[in-house]
Amino acid sequence: MNKLRVLLSINALSCLGFGSVFFLWPALTAVYLSGDTPAPDGALQLLGAGLVLHGLHLLSEAARQTPRRTWVIYFYTGDFLWVIGTVLLIISNQWITTTAGMTAALAVALMVGLFGVLQYAYCPSESTSAAIS
């Protein structure tokens, strides 16, 4: 299995894990991230469901012999947007306000950002993608 496929699989497991936590335990997650101004349960459950679906999509692309360039670009763009969103929530003092929540969110954002950078680095060239489409 090539590096990109392994990376997509690890990213998928992360999405599936965090998505499950957000979906199954939204209130607990919200209080951990922000004791005073927690995110609504529905927002975390929606985010969780989206992460699970995203994780399944990552796994389906990782199963291909050569992941498609268009989807890899989509995945790393989403990872970069996750990092930006996390930083904006922390700066705005919205939904991520506890010290533990900020530490955890920044650690996850660092991991997700690394996924994005590596997916960008391993993204198939246009000629490779055209040859396998």
Report the domain count for the chain: 1
For residue 132, being part of any structural domain is answered with: no
DSSP state of 127: H
φ and ψ at residue 131, rounded to 5 degrees: -70, -25
| 76 closest CA partner among 108, 123, 133 | 123
Close Cβ partners of 1 (under 8 Å, ≥ 6 residues apart): 9
For residue 131, being part of any structural domain is answered with: no
Length reported for the chain? 133
Range of the domain at 27: 3-126
For residue 71, being part of any structural domain is answered with: yes
- pLDDT digits (tens), the chain, 133 positions: 599 999 999 999 999 999 999 999 999 999 999 988 899 999 999 999 999 999 999 999 999 999 999 999 999 999 999 999 999 999 999 999 999 999 999 999 999 999 999 999 999 998 765 555 5
